[in-house]
Amino acid sequence: MSWKHVWIVFKKEVKDMIRDKRTLISNILIPIILMPLLFTLMGGGIEKMEKDITENITVALAPSSNTEEMRNFAVNELFVDNPNIKLIEIEGDPVEAIRNDDVRFVLDIDENYIEKLENCQPYSVTVLYDQSDTKSGGSFGIVASAIEQYSQKVVAQRLVDMNIDLNILQPVQIQQSNAADEKGSGNMMLMMILPMLAAILIAVGGIPAATDLVAGEKERGTFEPLLTTQSGRMSILLGKYMTVTLFSIICVMAQLIGVFIGSIVSPGFLTMGGTGADLSFYIPPVALLLTVLITISLGMVFAGVQLAVSTYSRSFKEAQTYMSFLMIISMIPAYATMMMQPDDVQLYMFFVPLLNAIASLKMVLGNVINYTYLGIALATSVAYVFISLVLAASMFNKEKVLFRS
């Protein structure tokens, strides 16, 4: 093997990939444009939904409760402290009005509520709403809280009238204290999204390059002449291997650039519609370096596997079929661990390919850093890189695989 020949093959393959405008557009340019667009659409939708749930709550009274007295009670007592809850008039069946989105809630109040109230007896307020509707389900807590606030005001007034201290109702006061590290508590969405994206993109980012560099050349008839040059097979393999690895890393970087731009254009996506979340966080330099190395080594593992699959394939189409399974393999652990928090990461995950990169990213993003675990993840990743290279080399050296038809 000659490193000079490796470099020549690498430069040649990189130039060929750069000349392919379709590959550059679909794998680099489109993600940079698509991610901000996705963030804008989804972030705007989340913000609009959140605003609609909390600010545009419409309530009507059932026909049996729709009297002047009941309307005054609802406006001036029940919802007086909640200007976001608006009382409206409806005609016809209240159930149909809810189903047709004419109103979100219909209240049915006991007709003799005044008598029960004066006698200190409980009376009921029935809240009719569509539990299958997202807006109604989200707003129900606000309406129920408003009714509960009114109930507490009545209780407080009764105690005052009886000269009883209001503190009798609060024997215990709950004080909240957050034990989470402030440096890693403001980026919950990033801990969910970035490890998943990085794992999937690292696994599939090099597929176009790997498919074209061996199976594609077989189909075009340029692979056999390449083997007759002065470059040894291992030099050719390493040159192509470096190209696939570089291309997969560039694809991931393009996606992450798109995520970064999207978070600036529409921060509401990462805060799930909230406006007060702090997305700033800190990663120690050593932990960041180890995580980057683990991620790169994961790309190298998949580059070796992809080259082995491409070498085994007879044609470009067959290689694409086989590569689709790699996408499924990467998506299963990525989505399975999406909701996992840094404290839930287990030791065994750092020994498993793909999971070790996901677990490392979750740890550093959550600022729950264990350098022993990161070291294990890097060591196992290096071992998997060696295994994937051995697999690719074995395929490259088998004549019956290399030239099968």
Question: Residue 383: what pLDDT?
Answer: 93
Per-residue pLDDT of the chain (405 residues; tens, 9 = 90+): 677 888 888 888 888 777 777 767 766 777 777 777 776 766 566 667 777 777 778 888 888 888 888 888 888 888 888 888 888 888 778 888 888 888 889 888 888 888 888 888 888 888 888 888 877 888 888 888 888 888 888 888 888 888 887 777 777 777 776 565 555 445 666 777 778 877 887 877 788 888 888 888 888 877 777 777 777 778 888 888 888 888 888 877 887 787 777 777 766 565 554 444 445 556 788 888 888 888 888 888 888 888 888 888 888 888 888 888 888 888 888 888 888 888 788 889 899 888 888 888 888 888 788 889 999 999 999 999 999 988 888 888 877 777 766
Question: Residue 50: what pLDDT?
Answer: 73
Enter the pTM of the model.
0.66
First to last CA, the chain: 28
Question: Residue 275: what pLDDT?
Answer: 45
For the segment(s) 56-167, the CATH number from 2.40.50.100, 3.40.50.300, 3.30.70.580, 3.40.1710.10 is: 3.40.1710.10
User: What residue spans in the chain does CATH classification 3.40.1710.10 cover?
Assistant: 56-167
